[in-house]
Amino acid sequence: MSSPMLVKSKLSCQPRFDFRDHRAIVTGGSRGIGRAIADALGEAGAQVYAFDVGEPERMESFPHRFVRIDIADTDAVKAAIAEFPQPPTLLVNNAGITRDRSIAKMSDADWAAVLNVNLTGAFLCIRAVVQQMAKDDYGRIVNVASTAGLTGYAYVTAYCAAKHGLIGLTRALARELAHTGVTVNAVCPGYTDTDIVAEAVGNIATKTGRTPEQALKELTVHNPQGRLVRPEEVAETVGWLCLPSSASITGQSIVVAGGELM
């Protein structure tokens, strides 16, 4: 199997990724950041399997292999991986949900749901592929965490706890696999132009009486660039971490947030 390479585009002279002969799993791959990652890896030649609990909005135009799955279901994850004709070489744990409310109003079910998708789901997918990656002496695991995994935000306690846990998992697993050709890293986007952020803007506007524009400004005020991150920017960072030339980068949390955390 050929390793992915960094090649130059003839049109733009910008670096392009080449992931031909590689199989990539992208959880939460049907929309938002996950869709951008799936598209970037697919355009670079990878065979992409988008794991998601819901179908893409336009299934007929979705260019990747779609697997409807609850990644917090151990048996479902095992069964899905067993169906692969060849083992996956790239795993991007991107699936995530949030429940925005104060800790006093957080139900047991909401707490469990957030941790199950954001943290346990990543663990289950990693466990299903990591032995083969280590045996093959090549693999790239990228966990899409968040700036919420590095700092705290009010009213998203479960999300912050899960993302902090995901970064801890990243660091521990990177040490465990350091003697192999498998790297494990996290990407930590700030507020990104996705459905989750659109929902957060709507919640702020509803609860505070502010306009959506005012609510959005509140979310971007701590970003020195004064804007939302673009999903494609996160995807480019993920692609870079998957390259063979990134072999010495492991156990890291790469912040993509316009300078929000320095």
User: Which residue among 49, 138, 155, 159 is the active-site one?
Assistant: 159
Q: Is 49 a catalytic residue?
A: no
Helix axes 74-82, 121-136, angle to 10 degrees: 30
CA 79 to chain centre: 22
Q: Give the number of other CB atoms < 10 A from CB of residue 70.
A: 17
In 3D space, the residue among 44, 124, 116 whose CA is nearest the CA of residue 91 turns out to be 124
Provide the pairing of β-strand 47-52 with 23-27. Answer: parallel
Q: Which residues are catalytic?
A: 159
